Chains A and B, each alone.
Chain A
């Protein structure tokens, strides 16, 4: 056991904890939007730390053995992390917009700005046309 082992254990612990919290959040929240909030953020954060653990392991093996296979493993896991970070928030945004436009309103919501924005955007133009002349 040296310092790299403890670093890898710490990163793997954070990764597993946040992935597990993200999957439990799907069962603990009452609504589509709150479930999306809990699950997407937690699993993205957990996957970031899984990639960090793999990169620390691969750089340590590269330092010990000098095999270029480990450099390839580290860089490809970084490319996977970049692809996940670009695509995951966009998919969550598309799901939330689709769920709202399908007709599922947020439960227990006090203020719904998006509804008033849609209603204002649809209704404002004829009212202005009526008022002006």
Chain B
């Protein structure tokens, strides 16, 4: 089987996402949680690409493209809200 290493890589990347989620839960300040959210977005994009190769589905990789762009817009809007307006 050629697709097996992608499943193990996806499992380990999901564990990295869980560790990142722990920082989002216990983060003492608000920017800490936003940093955790940004890191989690990148890890989820990597996870979608690896699972798309593992299941031989190209549509998962298309969803990863859309998720990368939309999560960037979300992070940017949270950052602009934190600094108090468009300045």
Contact = CB atoms under 8 A, between A and B. Distances in A.
Interface of A: 5, 8-9, 12, 15-16, 19-20, 22-24, 26-27, 32, 35-36, 39-40, 43-44, 46-47, 50-51, 53-54, 57-58, 61, 69, 72-73, 76-77, 79-80, 83-84, 87-88, 90-92, 94-95, 97-99, 101-102, 104
Contacts of A23: 16-17, 19-20, 23, 39, 43
Contacts, number: 166
B49 A50 contact: yes
A27 B45 contact: no
Chain B, interface size category, equals 35 or more
Given A20-B12, A43-B46, A77-B61, A26 B20 contact: yes
Closest 4 CB pairs of A and B: A87-B72, A99-B31, A94-B79, A98-B79
Contact of A50 (B20, B46, B65): B46
Given A12-B5, A16-B9, A51 B49 contact: yes
A67 B42 CA distance: 30
A90 B22 contact: no
A22 B72 contact: no
A79 B6 CA distance: 20
Nearest to A64: B2
Contacts of A35: 23, 32, 35
Interface in B1-37: 2, 5-6, 8-9, 12-13, 15-17, 19-20, 22-23, 29-32, 34-36
B43 A43 contact: yes
21 contacts: A8-B5, A15-B13, A15-B46, A16-B13, A19-B16, A20-B16, A23-B43, A26-B39, A39-B39, A40-B42, A43-B42, A50-B13, A53-B6, A54-B6, A76-B62, A77-B53, A92-B38, A95-B34, A95-B38, A97-B79, A102-B83
